[in-house]
Amino acid sequence: MTYFDGFGAPVSHNNQHDIDEFHRAAVLMLGYAPDPVAIIREVLERSPDFIMARCFLAGMYLVASNKERQKDLAAQYHLLAPLFDKANERERGHIKAIKLWIDGDFYAASQAYADILFDHPRDLCALQFGHQTDFLLGHVSSTRDRPARVMSHWSEADPEYSYILGMQAFGMEEAGHYQQAEARALQCVSLNPKDTWGVHALAHCYEMQGKTKNGISFMQDCEDKWANNNYLSIHNRWHLSLYWIENCEFETALQMHDQYMAVSPQSEMMDMHDSAALLWRLHLDGVDVGERWVPAANNYENYLDQAYMPFNDMHAMMSMVATGRDQQADKLVAALEDNLDGSTASSDIIKLAGLPIVKGIRAFGRADYETAKTLLANARHNAHMIGGSIAQRDVINLTLLEAAIRSGDQSMANGLLAERTLMKPSSPLSDMFGARANAAVAD
């Protein structure tokens, strides 16, 4: 007899209670709610050979983006490998993806998760982990297409349908199909107002189209649905802060930082990035953020030698230069340079995007605006390789713009502002940068 998980994908395990608990954890994971890992650890405590549960735990470590979790991932693979012969075809797909990721072949690992879906479109864990790898690797077309591949196998009758719509909406937004993305995100949150990835997708839609007013009212109106007890709450606060910045309401953005994004020693890396990205943008906007950088910089010092995901390193570098930690900034660059010639995907990403962007941020921080301009201008169209969203990577464009202004390069500044105006025709933030570009020349 074949057992199926709560989504309808086959599992080789035969304890129904364990399978139900697995499903409970997976649904929490899809909603970014606590604490799926704790549930799965309990399940594995009593049933260590529950292969799909172990694949799930490994997948959570795989998409964590913090190199520290790679050790946990390797430990899980060590336990999974002897179970390979007992695994069903779907589970073997997960084990294959995990092994490829450990070997540094991130792109093949991402595809291995996609391959599972051809035969098992009801495998929402494969979809979610694959979706997260698309995000980490900046695979825009796959972010759009992966959910589309399984959509016909789901309907509104499925309680988990919103999660697929949320992924689809985010993927379409990243790929620039804003109207379709917005429609799907609205469908997602109307089906499940607590689908925080759907909320997040809609926040992106409004951000990218310059629909600042819509963004603020939407996020504020449903704040009670996304802001509590959810791993995305800080990031969704960050999105709301971006609207305030777009409106040049910097004090409100700063207050939001202090209330919701201030870093502590326990902060997760992705939450540290939200703080760093917001402070850096405010710094570019001419706001004095005082000593707010210090806690993040202290935390980032623990990760300077990872040379794993340059998206992390970009934010770490912001905190190093903002706190005048020159030696640590150089240590970060040296770690990336040491990994240029490796055989992993990390090395390719570092070479083509990570290193020039990180060095560009360092140059900006040291007021070497000519070097910053050259590095950032040359690398920014490869920036998708470092992962994250277009909205997150826009900080690179903004840094380049400010470097152009500070170096008196009005033609570059005007050209970059014209790019911004294409998507955001009415932007107080762009107007402010434009006025400063003109004033810099007048001076």
Closest residue to Fe ion using C-beta atoms: 389
Specify the residue, 5 or 134, whose C-beta has the smaller distance to Fe ion.
134
Q: Which residue has the tokens 């470590």?
A: 61
Q: How far lies 53's CA from each of 40, 42, 45, 91, 96, in Å?
A: 6, 10, 11, 10, 15
Rounded least distance, CB 132 to Fe ion, Å: 13
Torsion over CA: 298, 302, 307, 309 (sign): negative
Amino acid, single-letter form, for residue 351: K
Q: What binding mask, one character per residue, do residues 301-340 give for Fe ion by CB under 5 A, x or -? A: ----------------------------------------
Q: Which residues lie closer than 8 Å to 301 by C-beta, 6 or more apart? A: 325, 328
Joined tokens for residue 177: 């199909």
Q: Which residue has the tokens 């595809």?
A: 111
Distance, in Å, from the CA atom of 279 to the CA atom of 293, rounded to the nearest integer, reads 8
Specify the residue, 170 or 369, whose C-beta has the smaller distance to Fe ion.
170
Q: Are 282 and 398 in contact (CB under 8 A)?
A: no
Rounded least distance, CB 235 to Fe ion, Å: 6
Q: How far is CA 342 from the centre of its chain?
A: 24
Rounded least distance, CB 281 to Fe ion, Å: 14
Q: Are 331 and 301 in contact (CB under 8 A)?
A: no
Rounded least distance, CB 159 to Fe ion, Å: 25
Specify the residue, 9 or 208, whose C-beta has the smaller distance to Fe ion.
208
Specify the residue, 203 or 350, whose C-beta has the smaller distance to Fe ion.
203
Specify the residue, 274 or 409, whose C-beta has the smaller distance to Fe ion.
274
Rounded least distance, CB 249 to Fe ion, Å: 20
Instruction: Map 397-417 to HEC letters.
Output: HHHHHHHHHHCCCHHHHHHHH
Q: How many residues bind Fe ion (CB under 5 A)?
A: 1
Rounded least distance, CB 120 to Fe ion, Å: 28
Nearest to 32 by CA among 142, 145, 128: 128
Specify the residue, 76 or 212, whose C-beta has the smaller distance to Fe ion.
212
Question: Binders of Fe ion among 376-415, rule CB under 5 A?
Answer: 389
Rounded least distance, CB 316 to Fe ion, Å: 19
List beta partners, residue 11. 3
Rounded least distance, CB 203 to Fe ion, Å: 7
Instruction: Map 20-37 to HEC letters.
Output: HHHHHHHHHHHCCCCCHH
Distance, in Å, from the CA atom of 88 to the CA atom of 111, rounded to the nearest integer, reads 19
Nearest to 352 by CA among 97, 119, 138: 138
Specify the residue, 30 or 307, whose C-beta has the smaller distance to Fe ion.
30
Q: Which residue has the tokens 């917005």?
A: 182
Q: What binding mask, one character per residue, do residues 152-171 give for Fe ion by CB under 5 A, x or -? A: --------------------
Specify the residue, 21 or 274, whose C-beta has the smaller distance to Fe ion.
274
Q: What binding mask, one character per residue, do residues 341-380 give for Fe ion by CB under 5 A, x or -? A: ----------------------------------------
List beta partners, residue 10. 4
Specify the residue, 230 or 389, whose C-beta has the smaller distance to Fe ion.
389
Rounded least distance, CB 389 to Fe ion, Å: 5
Specify the residue, 28 or 270, whose C-beta has the smaller distance to Fe ion.
270
Rounded least distance, CB 202 to Fe ion, Å: 11
Specify the residue, 28 or 208, whose C-beta has the smaller distance to Fe ion.
208
How many residues belong to the chain? 443
Nearest to 415 by CA among 427, 405, 407, 406: 405
Distance, in Å, from the CA atom of 380 to the CA atom of 396, rounded to the nearest integer, reads 7
Distance, in Å, from the CA atom of 202 to the CA atom of 166, rounded to the nearest integer, reads 9
Rounded least distance, CB 379 to Fe ion, Å: 21
Residue 108: what are its φ and ψ, rounded to 5°? -70, -35
Q: Which residues bind Fe ion (CB under 5 A)?
A: 389
